Amino acid sequence: MTVQHPYIPATDAEEQEMLQAMGLDSFEELLAMIPEGLRLRESLGLEPGLSEYEVARELELLGSRNRPAGAGISFLGGGAYDHYIPEVIKAIAMRSEFYTAYTPYQAEVSQGTLQAMWEFQSMVAALSGMDVANASLYDGATAAAEAALMAVAITGRSRILVPDTVYPATVEVIETYLQNRDAEVVTVTSRDGLLDHDDLSAKAGSAAALLLQSPNRLGLVEDWAAARQTLADRQTLLIASADPLTLGLLESPGAAGADIFIGEGQSLGIPLSFGGPYLGLMATRTAHIRKLPGRIIGRTTDLDGRPGYVMVLRTREQDIRRERATSNICTNQGLLALWAAIYMALIGKKGLLDIGRLCFDKSQYLGREIAALAGYELPFGFGYAKELLVRTPVAAERLAERAAGEGLFLGITEWAGETLLQLAVTEKRTRADLDRLVAFLKQAPA
């Protein structure tokens, strides 16, 4: 019988031996590498001398205070959305041969895993209008950072233009990736919630790339084609970031002239899961395939004419000289990419269009109803795909807190020194759900 040990202690002597091997005098010195702002200094709030059972019970009680999106009617968004996940996805993806599969280095024994990745790549390439996709990255923010590094490598330039309407957390990840690469992020301002093309034109000279998110952090649809025209220098790449479920309704990045597509794949059948794990999407033009990070799966035929799959163009530091590697991304979100592939295959081209249309129509209905309420305003109008911002007559934080008590989960966001409601509407929200939210806002005290 195998015994599972959740914790293996080290004696004081063993701890000192390990510290000496690292040239350190204390455990606190080891922790000094963690930024002070991230270190926990206050007490955990646990009584001294609790037994293992008592600690476990206390932690379970703390965990039970979390409320999943399914516990109410969720209008939360900001990059992660409460879309419907067909049960067949779970039934297929949670088969043991899928969720225990990992690195397919030996193609002859990994054909099923490799084929799943190839199918995923093919669908991402088709959805984005690009020539080739990789087998996924960690999440959307990682994909953005990898795209920035890719643009620097392709162009030999060092400036990445990022509008202020890109998610702040994504910008932080990009800056972290670039901090030791002699490259920088240059902020491009917005006007009325959309990219300011005059500011872009003024800052675009000799830039490696523009990263343009659409819908942006305000929910508004940007114009990739217009941005491509403003970038008069064709050597400046256009990185198009998108919610993949909006691409069934909007023009694809490839058709709009983008050079690289990136996105967060959570909306493709992946649970919210309190924030992750999620799925990074990435695709590009054939001309840039040698700079594409991560894994790429190819399809061929063997001597007997049977289809076969194998990893190709492995430009990772595990496989080639470190100085020639495109990235240190050495793995991919294989299981979540499988979830997304099953979702896209199940929903199909028409299904993606239908879901995108449902989200658009329902969110537009909600926006019109809210705009008709006294004291409420949509500061950026109706140019959104499924997520809208609302200026409220009372503090947005108070409204969101009160709404949660009534089973309505509302988002809030900061923009230009103002706190606004941020409401995402997916295909799951019914007419009754939307009307209930409108009724709640209408009766909110002034």
Instruction: Give the model confidence (pLDDT) of 132-154 as tens digits.
Output: 999 999 999 999 999 999 999 99
Residue 398 main-chain phi, psi, to 5 deg: -65, -40
pLDDT over threshold 60, residue 5: no
Q: What is the pLDDT of residue 332?
A: 82
- The CATH number of the domain holding residue 387 is 3.90.1150.10
pLDDT over threshold 70, residue 445: no
Task: Identify the residue with better confidence: 255 or 11.
Answer: 255
381 shares a domain with 240: no
Please indicate, yes or no, if residue 41 is contained in any of the structural domains. no
Choose one of 321, 343, 365: the last residue of a domain: 343
Ranked by mean pLDDT, the top range of 93-97, 165-169, 233-237, 318-322 is 165-169
Please indicate, yes or no, if residue 375 is contained in any of the structural domains. yes
287 shares a domain with 380: no
221 φψ region: left (φ > 0), alpha (ψ -120 to 50), beta (else): beta
270 shares a domain with 151: yes
pTM of the model: 0.88
pLDDT over threshold 90, residue 331: no
Give me the mean pLDDT over the 321-334 stretch. 76
260 shares a domain with 118: yes
266 shares a domain with 184: yes
Choose one of 288, 309, 343: the last residue of a domain: 343
CB 120 within 8 A of CB 280: no
Helix (H, G, I), strand (E, B) or coil at 408: strand
98 shares a domain with 144: yes
Please indicate, yes or no, if residue 247 is contained in any of the structural domains. yes
Please indicate, yes or no, if residue 23 is contained in any of the structural domains. no
Average pLDDT taken over every residue of the chain: 91
Please indicate, yes or no, if residue 91 is contained in any of the structural domains. yes
CB 250 within 8 A of CB 127: no
Please indicate, yes or no, if residue 56 is contained in any of the structural domains. no
Give long-range contacts, CB 8 A cutoff, 24+ apart: 302-307: none
191 shares a domain with 338: yes
Q: What is the pLDDT of residue 166?
A: 98
- The CATH number of the domain holding residue 198 is 3.40.640.10
125 shares a domain with 74: no
CA distance 446 to 354: 38
Segments in 8-51 forming alpha helices (H): 12-21, 27-31
Q: What is the pLDDT of residue 258?
A: 97
Residue 337 main-chain phi, psi, to 5 deg: -65, -35
pLDDT over threshold 90, residue 374: yes
Confidence of residue 45 (pLDDT cuts 50, 70, 90): confident
438 shares a domain with 299: no
- Beta-strand ranges (E) seen in 150-244 are 159-163, 184-188, 190-191, 194-195, 209-213, 237-241
Please indicate, yes or no, if residue 49 is contained in any of the structural domains. no
Task: Identify the residue with better confidence: 230 or 324.
Answer: 230
Choose one of 293, 309, 343: the last residue of a domain: 343
Domain span at residue 208 reads 87-343
Please indicate, yes or no, if residue 55 is contained in any of the structural domains. no
358 shares a domain with 338: no
> Worst-scoring range by mean pLDDT, 96-100, 401-405, 433-437?
96-100
pLDDT over threshold 60, residue 39: yes
Confidence of residue 37 (pLDDT cuts 50, 70, 90): confident
361 shares a domain with 322: no
CA distance 264 to 275: 12
Q: What is the pLDDT of residue 1?
A: 42
325 shares a domain with 394: no
Domains held by the chain: number: 2
